[in-house]
Structures are given as C-alpha cells and as structure tokens.
C-alpha cells in the first residue's frame, strides 16, 4: 500500500497546484489528487512488469543463441537460472497482477529500449553474475535477486528514472516509495503461492484513503485560520514573504494536528519537517520546525489540543462537535 509519507507528499503537490491555479473547485482538485495516487499504484505494477519484460528478453536471447548456424556448447546448454526464476514465474501467472495490467493497459511496448537497456545493465551487473553462479538455487535466492533488481538496479538507473518522468509527471519522485512497496510485496511471496497470491492494495485500509482526502480538503477550508496561526508565530517575517511551499507544508501540518485526533503531534511534526527538507529550500526545515513548535505551544496553551488516541489523552479538536474520519457512522 502507498505509505502515509507519500500520501502527505501527494496532498502537498495537489495543494500547490490548487494554489497556483485559477480554478477553486475543490471537488475537481480532489479528483486530481486521487488520480495522482492512482498513478503511483500504476507505477507499482509497471515496474513489476519491467522485471517480467527483462526476463522475456533474456529468454529471447537464449532462443536466438540456440538457433545459430554453429552454436557453441554454451549456446546449447545455457544457464537458465534467471529465466527460470520462480518469483518471476509467479508474477507471470498472478491473476491480480495481470488483471490490473490488462485493465490499465500498462505496457512497455512504446518504450522497448527500456527493457533492453535494463537487460544489458543486468547482465553487466556484478550481483547478476553472483546470482547465476551461486550454488544455492532455492526460492529464497530467487526472491532476493528480484528484490535487488528493483531496489538496486532499477532504482539506481538514471535512464529509467528519466524515462518514467517523461512518461508521467505524476511519477516524479515516486520510484523510491514504489520500490519499497514492491520489496514488501515480494517478501510476502511464498514458494507454494499460486496464481491467486494477493498483490499489495493501493491503500492500507479505508482509513488511509479518507485520511488523504480529508487532509487535503480540510487544509483548503482551513487556509484562513492556518494562515493566521502562521502569521502570529512568525517573528520578523510577514507571511507574504514566506515561500509558498513552506507555507503549504505548515498548512498541512497544522490541519493534521487540528483535525486528526489519533495522530501524535510528534509524528506529524517529524513527517512535515522531513518533507520540508526535500521539497523546500535548504534552510526551510529548521524554519518550519521553529514556527510549528510555536504554533503547537499556542494551541496547547489555549486548550485546543486534545488528542484522543491511546497514550494521547491531553494532547485535538478545536471543535468537539466536529465529525472526523475516526468517528463511527
């Protein structure tokens, strides 16, 4: 499933687009947010499909070598360990995986040079050489190699990253998060799993889906209140002079603190400070951290911070009558 960290980043990107655009239609903006998240789920399947495509090329190369007019002994008796990889074979037969690929019409057909490029990189890869020569040829070894393909070979390829960014603007910065999703998926594969092994869902649960939608929508609706909080707690700075991305990161953080009663304040602060390190200016994380600390202090002093989850008593709801996604229907 897509991590909460990435869901927060997707909300930030959608909020940035909303603030830079001329259309103030929240419903349309929310659809764009969910479309962006769906594209990340596409990428999860697309990279797994690339693994299968690379294996297909390896099989094709072996068949071509066997059909030479004068094949060598190696051509006639090739090392088939990679094309016989049991995890890749499980992916080939997986109903859930193939169903999604088919329904979304995901294919590398328009970019055939990428699977071939990754094949050439793989056969020159030291890890591949060790895998092909290693005496232990069990399922665990097969699984580990496929995981390494995605988390090392694919992730470290600038050519692949560049191509994916050209294919979709929604895939910028997604590869690392998707690689983690794939690793978690494959680690759960078992040798006895057949074609019905379950792939990772887009969201961990309905709560995660509701979280990102409410976080986005509430941040837009609370923009005025959040801006006042930021303005009051920004020493020697007028809010108009603060970079837009810094403001949006703080807006999201404040909304999460004020609207989601079972997320610890510390978790929220840590998440957005880390996001600020990557998406804002070099000094932004320290700046954002200082302002958010002041804001948390203010809302605590005013008694507006009332966390309700286990271990959180005494820490949100500015309005106790506000219905949150955690309330039972």
d(CA 146, CA 179): 11
d(CA 85, CA 145): 9
Percent of the chain predicted with pLDDT > 90: 77
Q: What is the pLDDT of residues 95-121, one digit of tens each?
A: 999 999 999 999 999 999 999 999 999
Query: Which architecture, in CATH terms, is 222-301?
Result: Orthogonal Bundle (1.10)
Whether 174 and 43 have beta carbons less than 8 Å apart is answered as: yes
d(CA 82, CA 191): 16
Which token pair is 244? Answer: 């837009």
Helix 223-232 with 284-301: angle, nearest 10 deg: 100
**Could you give the C-alpha distances from 20 to 14, 17, 23, 223, 237, in angstroms and in order?**
10, 5, 9, 14, 22
Is the pLDDT at 325 greater than 50? The verdict is no
**Could you give the C-alpha distances from 75 to 8, 54, 174, in angstroms and in order?**
51, 19, 40
Per-residue confidence (pLDDT) for residue 304, from 0 to 100: 86
Is the pLDDT at 162 greater than 90? The verdict is yes
Q: Taking Cα atoms as reference points, which of 161, 185, 159 lies closest to residue 173?
A: 161
d(CA 95, CA 290): 50
Percent of the chain predicted with pLDDT > 70: 91
Is the pLDDT at 237 greater than 90? The verdict is no
Q: Taking Cα atoms as reference points, which of 128, 105, 104 lies closest to residue 51?
A: 128
Per-residue confidence (pLDDT) for residue 293, from 0 to 100: 95
- DSSP string computed for 268-321: HHHHHHHHHHHHS-TTHHHHHHHHHHHHHHHHHHTT-----STT-TT---SSTT
Average pLDDT over residues 263-268: 95
Per-residue confidence (pLDDT) for residue 322, from 0 to 100: 32
Q: What is the pLDDT of residues 20-79, one digit of tens each?
A: 988 889 999 999 999 999 999 999 999 999 999 999 999 999 999 888 889 888 889 899
d(CA 107, CA 94): 16
Task: DSSP letter for 170, please.
Answer: G
Per-domain residue ranges for the chain? 4-187, 222-301
d(CA 142, CA 129): 13
Residue with tokens 């820490």: 315
Average pLDDT of the chain is: 90
Number of separate helices (H) and strands (E) present in the chain: 15, 0
Is the pLDDT at 198 greater than 90? The verdict is no
């Amino acid at each position: 499933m897509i991590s909460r960290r990435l869901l927060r980043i997707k909300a930030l990107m959608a909020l940035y687009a909303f603030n830079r655009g001329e259309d103030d239609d929240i419903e349309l903006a929310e659809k764009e947010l969910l479309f962006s998240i769906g594209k990340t789920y596409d990428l999860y399947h697309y990279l797994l499909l690339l693994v299968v495509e690379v294996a297909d090329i390896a099989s094709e190369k072996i068949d071509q070598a066997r059909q030479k007019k004068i094949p060598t002994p190696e051509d006639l008796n090739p090392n088939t360990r990679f094309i016989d990889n049991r995890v890749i074979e499980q992916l080939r037969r997986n109903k859930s995986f193939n169903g999604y690929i088919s329904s979304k019409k995901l294919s590398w057909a328009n970019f055939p040079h990428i699977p071939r490029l990754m094949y050439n990189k793989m056969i020159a890869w030291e890890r591949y050489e060790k895998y092909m020569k290693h005496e232990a040829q069990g399922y665990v070894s097969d699984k580990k190699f496929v995981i390494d393909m995605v988390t090392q070979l694919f992730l470290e390829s600038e050519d692949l990253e560049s191509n994916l960014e050209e294919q979709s603007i929604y895939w910028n910065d997604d590869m690392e998060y998707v690689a983690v999703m794939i690793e978690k998926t494959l680690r759960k594969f078992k040798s006895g799993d057949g074609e019905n092994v379950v792939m990772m869902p887009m969201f961990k649960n309905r709560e995660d889906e509701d979280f990102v939608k409410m976080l986005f929508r509430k941040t837009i609706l609370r923009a005025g209140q959040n801006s006042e909080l930021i303005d009051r707690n920004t020493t020697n700075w007028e809010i108009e002079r603060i970079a837009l991305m810094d403001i949006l990161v703080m807006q999201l953080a404040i909304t999460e603190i004020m609207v989601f009663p079972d997320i610890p304040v510390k978790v929220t602060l840590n998440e957005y400070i880390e996001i600020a390190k990557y998406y804002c200016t070099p000094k932004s994380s320290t700046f954002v951290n200082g302002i958010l600390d002041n804001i948390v202090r203010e809302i605590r002093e005013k008694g507006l911070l009332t966390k309700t989850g286990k271990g959180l008593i005494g820490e949100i709801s500015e309005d106790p009558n506000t219905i949150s996604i955690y309330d039972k229907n």
